[in-house]
Structure 1
Amino acid sequence: MKRSFENPLIGDKVYFTKYATEPGSPASIIDVELKPGGGNGLHYHKTFAEHFECLEGELSIQVGKEILRLLPGETATAPAGSLHRFFNASAQPNRFRVTIDPGHPGFENTLKIAYGLASDGHVNKAGMPKKLWHMGTIILLSDTNLPGFFSLIQRPLAWMARRAMADGRFKRELEPYTR
């Protein structure tokens, strides 16, 4: 099973240390290399918590309104339902581990899909999938929920994703990335 994925557009790398379905704890464990300025937007997950551990460099985590700066060996948790994001505000790359508890195969697959789409040129310059149903699938499978204005478009995107799953587009276009 492939474990390492890179997003050539933004230069981030992920390595699956443990998939949720593998023996041991039911967690998903992912090591991430993040370039300076990299990160994600505010979001939350209803069904799992994310535990972050800085391995190298400096990692910034926002949970709610609080911003934490982690150095190697330091940890932070975004409980299920909490608005959060991670980012690299330093001038150097960083490396961190995120443990998804309980593990979430859908979240694992969305990383593979998103990085695969980027590798194959199916995203715009901002890294967003060119097809709206692709974005809807990523959001739906990963239990990623968006705040504010974006919460208004989340339901139509999820509907598009479900339709693509029903009519076979998901199986043809996105499922191959999950293998």
Structure 2
Amino acid sequence: MNKERDDGAAAQDWPDRLYRLLKDNGITQVAWVPDGGHSRLIRLYEADPDIRIVRLTTEEEGVALLAGTHLGGARGVLLMQSSGVGNCINMLSLPNICQMPLLMLVTMRGDFGEANPWQVPMASATPAVLEAMGATVKRADTPDDIVETAQGCLQLAFRSSRMVALLIGQRAIGAKTFTETKH
């Protein structure tokens, strides 16, 4: 990590660096379900007229959409939260059996500092679920690790036609906090 830059700057600019990396490596379609952890990255893609963005109603739609993207000769990425991994389990058979690349960037809820207990069970299961479905799983827990790890995941997915998931930990994106209201 660059000692000159504080953690706040690193935490804020990783989406910009990740956007540039993905664009420079031929990502032309982005599928996503609304997610606070990916909000900056999503806004960057929404502002780019060269990128086709598809807002999904559920994460498994993105798996099928990106299979079609691959069959059409293009590259795409699926942005989702760890809770969405549970929605994709059956559909992940498609890239596994058909040996199609699928790059998933998964922000981890239910992780370090989580305040919402409903997020914890799926977060705990996310790596094992993805691996059981045939995905290679990598993790980044600091803002500076995200882009470097994404570079490796991107190459692995598209050069070897594999399903690859990058789990982006809450230490990197920041834990959501909820305040109690007193009545």
Fold agreement, TM-score > 0.5: no
Which one has a larger percent helix, Structure 1 or Structure 2? 2
Which one has a larger percent strand, Structure 1 or Structure 2? 1
TM-score after normalising by structure 1: 0.26
TM-score after normalising by structure 2: 0.25
